[in-house]
Amino acid sequence: MSKQLIRVYHNLDFEDVRAHTLEYGVLSGICSKCKHLNVRLEDIGCPQCGTSFKYIAFQSVREHLPKLLRISQERSGVQFIDYQDFKRIEGEQKARSILG
């Protein structure tokens, strides 16, 4: 068996994604629900609002590939989502709510 990372497109409920994503930058993460800063990659939930992280969006997957592989082995329930997709949809929803 040769396991490789291949991106798959899923139809996800964005309300769920927005409430349970850890946005991970270079050194630390942000909770997508309450925007709490300095969340650690090891945190399975937000230290501030307590939401569980079902999704992780790495700003730079290439930079964090070893971490991604480790987490995918250790935490089978976590799904990795595309950061660009996440920010694009979040932006679209924000614009829509402003325009009414």
Cβ 39 to Zn ion shortest distance, Å: 8
Measured from the CB atom, is 20 or 64 closer to Zn ion? 20
Query: Which of 41, 70, 37, 38 shows the shortest CA–CA distance to 53?
Result: 41
Rg value, the chain, Cα: 14
List 5, 34, 44, 65, residue binding Zn ion (CB under 5 A)? 34
Q: Does 37 contact Zn ion by CB under 5 A?
A: no
Binding part of the chain for Zn ion, among 2-10, 30-38, 58-66, 79-87 by CB under 5 A, reads 30-38
Q: Does 48 contact Zn ion by CB under 5 A?
A: yes
Q: Which two tokens stand for residue 13?
A: 């409920």
| Measured distance CA(24)–CA(22) in Å, rounded | 6
Q: How far is CA 59 from CA 52, 75, 90, in A?
A: 19, 20, 15
Q: Does 31 contact Zn ion by CB under 5 A?
A: yes
Strand ranges of the sheet holding 79-80, from the earlier edge strand across to the other edge: 29-31, 21-24, 55-58, 79-80
Binding part of the chain for Zn ion, among 20-28, 29-37, 66-74, 86-94 by CB under 5 A, reads 29-37
Binding site for Zn ion (CB under 5 A): 31, 33-34, 36, 46, 48-49
